[in-house]
Structures are given as C-alpha cells and as structure tokens.
Structure 1
C-alpha cells in the first residue's frame, strides 16, 4: 500500500515548499516526525547533517543523535550545534550495523537515503541493530525507486550514485520492509516522494515503521 499524506507541523512552524527531490525527501521525513511527536531521534548515516539543520523550530525534536562512520562531518555538526539552545545534538562515530552502539532511548530513527550504501549481505545486521537493539518506536527509511531511473536520465545498467550497492524497485523494497516489520514486531506503511511517473511511480520511496 502506498499512501500520500501531509501532516501539519506545530502551528508556529511554517514549512517551506520543496523545490528539489532532496528537499521533498526532507519535508516528507519532517512531516512523519511531527506526526509521531518524536522528541529524541537518531539520524543514522547523517552525513553532513541536512536533516538535523531542519529539526529545530520545525518539529518537536529537542534531542538528536547523529551517527556516521566519518569523523569529519560529525566534528562539523558538533561545532554547528554547540550554541543552538533549541536542540541538543550528540554525535556517535560508528557503524550502523554495530548493535553495541549506545544511542539511548529513541522516539524515532531516520535512515535518509542510507540503506542503498550498505552491502546487501549486511542488511540483516542493520536490521538487528535498528529494530531490535535500539528499537525506536518509529523508524523512517527512504531509498531510490529504481523503476524511475529511466525517467531521471540514469543510463541503463547504472545506478544513481557510484557508492550505491543496490537500488530496488517498489515491489522489492516493500517485500524487504514488510519482512523486517514482521520479524521485529512493527507495522509498516509506504509513501511515494516526488512527482510520480507513468507506470513506474515516484523517484523516492519511503517506509515508515511503527512499534
């Protein structure tokens, strides 16, 4: 099932209209965090922290844990949020497949365009860490919809980014996410992000898991 819905943010917060697919993904994730009233979240595979920059003043989130393998963006995030009294940001350097990482209690975890950067054989470790060890009550995952690649001008046989190990179509992604939900005791629903193309859907697909 694919659902498209908009959840109004708190009344003092005015969302900007998305102008790119990247912005549309961020807005879709923010909508879901607001709907779930998440206050403490983990941005798993945070990169430079684009999502973190939009949390303060736009959502209910007051604490965030930024997790990434690369120390450089984490250092930049620490410096950027050091004086921001609207949100407390903790950084953790480590692998998303390492269930031993101590992230503390979480309302939500976000994997924004992350799973396709993980070797397929490592996804089971990611599942164990996120859905069993850390177990937030909400998990939001976005990933490319490979069926839309032709419409985006991606040459056949290529992926959207050199670092992607895979890109799934809608049926494959939904089958994986449904299996994760069943094994972990979550419910899952799906949402299309971006303009939908004839017969192949939108360029980004999102799964929202709720415990």
Structure 2
C-alpha cells in the first residue's frame, strides 16, 4: 500500500516555462525515479508563458519502509508515508540533483539570478513552537502562509491536525530554494528515517553553504538535522564557525589594505565617519544600529554623541566583533557609557527581531560587498522587518574612480566588491527600495565633488514615510 504527499514549485517569471530548463525536466513529460522506499514523480499541471508549476509527488511503500528494521519508530503505524519528511528530501536530491547544484544546460544565466518563486507543501509536520516555520523561512527572504489541516473535514468539532499546508513566496535562485527545502524539511519533521553519521555533517555543510552559517536559528537547524547527536552537532558547529571566520577575516583584511590605499590620499574614510556621525548628531535620534560595523570605527564616533542612549553594532564574524570590542575598550569603559553600547553577531540579510525598534540605522560601505541576488533579502530585513525611522547607506561612486591615481578602467576599489554603482544606478535602486517599503529618500555625497564625476562616496538617506507625515 502506498501514500502520497505533494510539493509544487511555481514561477511567474516570464517566460515561465523556463522553469523546465531550470529543473532539467521537460514540461511535456512525466519524470519518475525509483527509491528504496517508493517512487518520486515530477509533472507539470500547468505550463504557460505567464505561469508554470512543477508538482512532485512521493509514493511511499510502507512495507519497504520498515523491511528489516526493528525500531518502534520504523513500524507500519507512523505518519512518515503520509507527510513531508526526510524521505522527501531524499527524493528531491535524487530527482533534482542538477537543479539543486545550480546548473542548467540551456539557461545557466537564469539559474544564477533570483526570480519570483512560490512553493506549496502539504501535508507538513511542524513539530515545535507555533512560530517555527516563520523563524526558519522568513530570515531567508520568504513570505510564509500557513493553513491548518483539519483532522476530519466532516467533523470540524474534532479540531485541527498537527499538520499544515505551507506556502512560501519570494525572489530566490531556484538552487537556493531547493537547498533550503532539502535541509529544512527534515528539521521541521525533527526525525530521520535513515542512519545519521559523519556523512550527514558534510551534506549539511554543502547544502547550507552561503546561508546556514549566519542563520538566526542555526543552532536549532543543526541540532535537529543531526538528530541531536552531540559529537556531530559539535563538528558541524565548529566547521560553520571556521567558514564564517575565514571568509570574514579575509574580507576585512582586504578592505583594510587595498581600498584604504586608494582612498587614503583624500582621507575619504575619515570624511565618511565625520559625515555620518554629524548627520546622526543633527538628527536627534536616541538609538542607532551600525550594520556591518566591522572593527568599530563608526561606533567610536557614535559613542561620543551624548544624545544616543542605545548604540548597537552588528557584524557577522565573531572574531571581527571581538576586535571591535577591544578597540572600543569595552572592558575598561565606565559603566554609564558601557550600558549605551552593545555588539551583536548577526547577518544583514536575515530578519532579526533584535534589530527592530531603532530610530536609525547606518550601513556604511557594506552593500557593495553583497552578491546582487542577496540584496532583496537585505532590503526585506532592514526596510521590511527592522524598519528604523531613518537609514543612512553609503557606497562608492563608480564614476569617481577615474580620478583615483593608478586605478584601471572598469576596476573596483577592492577585490571583494561585487559591484560599484554609478549615481544613476544607485538612485534607481534606492528609489525602488523606498517606494516598495514606504520610505522617502534623498541623496547627498561625501568628499569633494567633481563637476563631471560627482562625489567619491554617494549617500542615500531614507526616512520612514509615516514619520514624515506625523512630523508634518
């Protein structure tokens, strides 16, 4: 006897039928793969230019599932054949391995960019706190919608079952969406049907690369994925920490070398610190976030402003954050002054409740270090979730690079920059963000202005629209 669960992936990115190229599965065909416990099948219930949907069903043979096993949890009477579990992750890995790896034979350029995607999964166990699904998926940039599944539609008085229908929507690379589901479905089920050993640690590290390292629920994800086996959890935790430290230490070292060498003749970094601290002083705000605070250069200026009662620096790398604490001399700071400042480890692309309720946020020379496909997640985290009253964002002006001695045409100020925008490009991005999230925005510059090339650093100052209306 077999049972089915259903997962659908849809897109409205046009032409939507390109989803077939991304999944490496033609919309006109039905695709199946045999598994040790049943069969996974992919087909397309709709395949139009405006919208395309791929559906995956998993048929689980309850006899094969428990054959040769004696554990109580592996007996016939269980919910595994009925609901999404680690069985579905195995099926995704077998059926969509190429797509999960980010490869597309005919649409590689599309596989590398974020597109509008929707996913629906039913029935899904969500064992744990009621808000667990939101805590897992919202930091990754998804909107989350849950629908309870009744125990019996014919008897509503019996109430709801412990299972839900999950709908997610967001702009993601397809490979990212698939790896998110591969890791998080077993986490939600909080159980696995197969042996968990060191191979599972490496699988988790591979599938979690680029997002798990700094996820706010990393500890819970690792613990549940590895079934709480402490030796494996410690191994995974150590390797994730090392990955973050290696990347961030290299980035900050590079930032302190090449970029400063280019900008040092005009003391541009000093001008940035002075500009931002004066702007914050004049604004009269009482609390501020320094996002991507690095080793604390701006924090050292902000702590001098008497009116700032709460100053929070956020940095992804613990080692860099520790260096910021040392440079600020937090251990030797007077108690009254020390109470005004805190340092938090966190990612700028994940929604974090600790960062809500601030009057202002400063994001100084940070966004250019983000991959362009991560910008929507940053925008959602800062402007959609944290929603400070004011946000100050600075970034290099690419047009001004022509005036720096020794810079080659089309070169960027240091090798970790993913992009450097012209004034028109920055204005377009900032105005789009402001309109999408209910902010007003104005533009200024830092450093001496050149008539043809503008300022070396460009600035966008966002103000929450409701605050502007209230002041008026």
| TM-score class, shorter | 0.7 to 0.9
Structure with more helix by fraction: 2
What CA deviation, in whole Å up to 9, does each residue of 1:18-66 have, x standing for no partner?
x711111111111221222121111000000100001123352121111
CA contact (8 A) 1:78 1:89 kept: no
Question: Alpha carbon RMSD of aligned pairs, Å?
Answer: 1.5
Q: Per the alignment, in what secondary structure is the counterpart of residue 127 of structure 1?
A: helix
2:279 to 32, 53, 57: 32
Query: Which is worse superposed, 102-111 or 55-64?
Result: 55-64
Q: Give the Cα separation in 2 of the matches to 1:92 and 1:70.
A: 10
CA distance in 1, matches of 2:324, 2:396: 26
Partner of 2:455: 202
Aligned twin of 1:94: 346
Separation in structure 2 between the aligned mates of residue 59 and residue 22 of structure 1, nearest angstrom: 23
Find the counterpart in structure 2 of residue 115 from structure 1.
367
Deviation at residue 164 of structure 1 after TM alignment:
0.3
Checking the alignment, whether the CA contact within 8 Å between 2:288 and 2:308 is kept in structure 1 is yes
- Between the aligned partners of 2:374 and 2:306, the Cα distance in structure 1 is 32
Greater shift in the superposed pair: 69-78 or 195-204: 69-78
Task: Give distance in 2, aligned partners of 1:57 and 1:50.
Answer: 12
Secondary structure of 1:97's partner?
Answer: coil
In structure 1, what is the equivalent of residue 438 of structure 2? 185
**Out of 384, 388, 399, which is 1:132 matched to?**
384
Q: Contact between 2:393 and 2:459, CA under 8 Å: does it hold in 1?
A: yes
The answer to whether the Cα contact below 8 Å between 2:294 and 2:324 also exists between their aligned partners in 1 is: no
Contact 1:159–1:167 under 8 Å retained in 2: yes
**Mean Cα deviation higher: 68-77 or 109-118:** 68-77
For 1:6, the equivalent position in structure 2 comes to: none
**What SS does the corresponding residue of 1:64 show, helix, strand or coil?**
strand
Query: Do 1:68 and 1:74's aligned partners in 2 also have CA atoms closer than 8 Å?
Result: yes
Gaps of 5+ in 2: 1-265, 465-472
Equivalent positions of 1:1-211 (< 5 A) are 20-58=267-305, 60-79=307-326, 80-82=329-331, 83-84=333-334, 85-86=336-337, 88-153=340-405, 154-211=407-464
In the TM superposition, what is the alpha-carbon distance from 1:77 to its structure 2 partner?
2.9
How many residues are aligned here? Answer: 193
- 1:102 is displaced (CA, Å) by 1.8
State the distance in 2 between where 1:177 and 1:66 align: 23
> Which stretch has the larger CA shift, 75-84 or 140-149?
75-84
How far apart, in 1, do the equivalents of 2:273 and 2:451 lie?
A: 24
Q: Does structure 1 conserve the Cα–Cα contact (< 8 Å) formed by 2:400 and 2:455?
A: yes
Moved more, 56-65 or 104-113: 56-65
Please say if residues 56 and 62 of structure 1, whose CA atoms lie closer than 8 Å, have aligned partners that are also in contact: no
Cα offset for 1:101? Answer: 4.8
Report the Cα distance in structure 1 between the residues aligned to 2:294 and 2:401, rounded to whole angstroms: 23
